[in-house]
Amino acid sequence: EAGVVQSPRYKIIEKKQPVAFWCNPISGHNTLYWYRQNLGQGPELLIRYENEEAVDDSQLPKDRFSAERLKGVDSTLKIQPAELGDSAVYLCASSLGGQGNQPQHFGDGTRLSIL
């Protein structure tokens, strides 16, 4: 089966500019996650979707970050405006369900650099 696909792989922008990341989960996976991974650290959850509903966005900085998952398949994560501290790898993952018996499958991520 095809894995989780993310684009772009790399993005370099100046601070205060907007940026968007795209994720296509594994077919049939109804649960989708966005994580942020800072250098030398493990990923931290930003938002979790069950189908098209955001069921956990408690860690999403809502003043500048937004996400959507139209039709419960692809998802987009946006930052506007970007700040220097947003430099990180943004990972998307999907699973068959949010319950504990299903592993999460990760994409290769988008590496964001803010100048």
Partner 1 sequence: KQEVTQIPAALSVPEGENLVLNCSFTDSAIYNLQWFRQDPGKGLTSLLLIQSSQREQTSGRLNASLDKSSGRSTLYIAASQPGDSATYLCAVLDDYKLSFGAGTTVTVRA
Site of interaction with partner 1 (CB under 8 A): 4, 6, 33, 40-45, 48, 55-56, 91, 93, 98-101, 103-109, 111
What's the closest the beta carbon of residue 17 comes to partner 1, in angstroms? 23
Pairing of β 75-79 and β 88-95? unpaired
**Residue carrying the six token digits 């942020």:** 36
What's the closest the beta carbon of residue 92 comes to partner 1, in angstroms? 8
What's the closest the beta carbon of residue 108 comes to partner 1, in angstroms? 4
Q: Choose between 66 and 104: whose C-beta lies nearer to partner 1.
A: 104
Q: Choose between 10 and 16: whose C-beta lies nearer to partner 1.
A: 10
What's the closest the beta carbon of residue 16 comes to partner 1, in angstroms? 27
**Residue carrying the six token digits 């290769």:** 108
Q: What's the full length of the chain, in residues?
A: 115
**Residue carrying the six token digits 């990341």:** 21
Q: How many other β-carbons are positioned within 10 Å of the β-carbon of residue 38?
A: 12
Give me 97's structure tokens. Answer: 């369900």
Q: Choose between 61 and 98: whose C-beta lies nearer to partner 1.
A: 98
Q: Choose between 14 and 39: whose C-beta lies nearer to partner 1.
A: 39
In single-letter form, the type of residue at position 37 comes to: Q
